[in-house]
Structure 1
């Protein structure tokens, strides 16, 4: 279902049945329809359902657009689109009657003009409120867009106090503008949670005749990780390109582990275990002399 929404988002909000079926399953389309994630607006044409206007909702509540709704308005990537407007109102203010259901937050010194929290405040709000992966996704995106920088984020997070401040500082320390997608940010968050170090986002592997960039790479272990969405690999041309790229990486000594959206989002323990096993099997991970195998013998066995 995530891929269905992703395809619509990348096509500007609408797509024909044929365009959806080129990259996603019929079952996924039907499930997305049943759950209201997409709508049929004409015969054979699908669209994202209209969302409530967060600015109007903020005005009605006497607050400002914040958190994930503000992140969307700023153009930041989010792990999940908010199902209702996120609005921050002055502390002590009661919820007002409104036809639009809102997720309310309370804070001191909140303008009542129906505007939106600034970029830095939005990143910090998300970092201190939501799980690590969701906060990291927003922070990575804000850094990638260049609207804030790492030092600015680190200083602001260090000045926070109260609930969620430690969580925000953790996001600020891990945020990296090189990350290019929410799924990549989530994969990196799994490594950080598991204490697996050494992987860098978007590293380039290049020699005189070949160049490739991988989502996450460990230069010392020659181990690359990629978070794949089917929407990017659903054509014959894409399959051929990916096969050749994989082969070129392999003959240059790199091993590539590829994880689907379902793997990363729904089976993170397996993902981390697979990466740990790959690390344990890396030539650079063990001192071959300590296990009684000469380097020459290891190379010979590797050629069998």
Structure 2
């Protein structure tokens, strides 16, 4: 059960059934639900308790579920689960509930039916309200799910005005549905904010019978970055596959930098320093031409 909770926590506080099932057993999920270790907050979406019903809170407040709470209901991956429901009410409406019960936002033309903001509106709300990494995580997830497209997001962000509109346009310009997890989105956001260009999400490296996909790849520098969230490498088969993949990438000239959740979330300066050193061609840099020269030199030496 602790394993199930850890998967949910490492995914930002929520996980879909498919995301859980890819790592833990169906029995473990059912047991965690029965014992209250996780709770179902929407169809096929689970979270860590306590999880106050955001729809009930929105109805009580006279507004709609919005921002990260709405993102969770839509099934978007979020960086951090809100500690209390986030609700938007019509501008000028007074608070009905205690600040401890919900986080309020005010806007024009808000229905008071206790529903939820639409998918596009939710992405824009998160993009204009929260830090770049959090907004990008939600936008990447929405694009990945195919519920909105990039042109739709860009147009809508361009029409925004007022506080946060510039931040929303920045998120819209950077959003990429190829990103597969919030941790990948955060790692990419660090690069973007540091002005480090050239990295693409989910780059496929293929050579003959070998094929691998890396979280972020720089094709020109043959440099790959991976955001290692909660996953299992404890079995001998998993360790063998991981080692062979790493070796196969290396002999094809690719350097692989792997960063943990703790690295990306709590020591971004170290992450950026490591990437900067690698992009500058620090010790250990090589490329396929160098490998070919080295192989040729060894063959020539063997003939002497």
TM-score (norm 2): 0.81
Aligned equivalent of 1:88:
88
Q: How does 1:1-304 map to 2 (within 5 A)?
A: 3=7, 5-6=9-10, 9=15, 10-11=19-20, 46-47=37-38, 48-97=48-97, 101-281=101-281, 299=293
Q: Aligned equivalents of 2:71 and 2:33: distance in 1?
A: 27
- The answer (yes or no) to whether the contact 2:10–2:229 under 8 Å persists in 1 is no
1:6/1:194 CA distance change after superposition, 3 Å: closer
Partner of 1:28: none
Structure 1, gaps ≥5 residues long: 21-38, 287-294
Q: Which moved more, 1:157-166 or 1:238-247?
A: 238-247
Change (3 A) 1:125 1:216: same
> Separation in 1 of the partners of 2:296 and 2:129?
49
Per the TM alignment, residue 11 of structure 1 is displaced from its structure 2 partner at its CA by: 3.6
Q: How far did 1:220 drift?
A: 0.5
SS in 1 for 2:231: helix
Contact 1:221 1:282 in 2 (8 A): no
User: For the residues of structure 2 that align with 1:235 and 1:266, how far apart are their CA atoms?
Assistant: 28
Judged with a 3 Å threshold, the aligned counterparts in structure 2 of structure 1 residues 243 and 126 are, in CA distance, closer, same or farther, namely same
Q: Is the 8 A contact 1:60 1:98 kept in 2?
A: no
Separation of aligned partners in 2, 1:94 and 1:241: 58
What whole-Å deviation, never above 9, does each CA across 1:89-109 have from its counterpart, x for those lacking one?
001111103697001000011
CA drift of 1:303 comes to 7.7
- Consecutive unaligned residues of structure 2, counting only runs of 5 or more, are 39-47, 299-304
Deviation at 1:155, TM superposition (A): 0.6
Q: Which residue matches 1:32?
A: none
Spell out, residue by residue over 1:40-63, the C-alpha distance to the aligned partner (whole angstroms, 9 max, x if none). 975xx8433241111111100000
Task: State the number of aligned residues.
Answer: 271
In structure 2, the residue corresponding to 1:104 is in which secondary structure? strand
With over 3 angstroms needed to count, the CA separation of the structure-2 counterparts of 1:154 and 1:3, relative to structure 1, is: same
Deviation larger for 144-153 or 229-238: 229-238
For residues 269 and 86 of structure 1, do their structure 2 counterparts lie closer, same or farther at Cα, with a shift above 3 Å needed? Answer: same
- Cα distance in 2, alignment partners of residues 202 and 115 from structure 1: 35
Q: CA deviation at 1:240?
A: 1.6
Q: Quote the Cα distance in structure 2 between the aligned partners of 1:194 and 1:111.
A: 40
Whole-Å separation in 1 of the counterparts to 2:245 and 2:75: 31
On the 8 A contact 1:52/1:100 being kept in 2, the answer is no
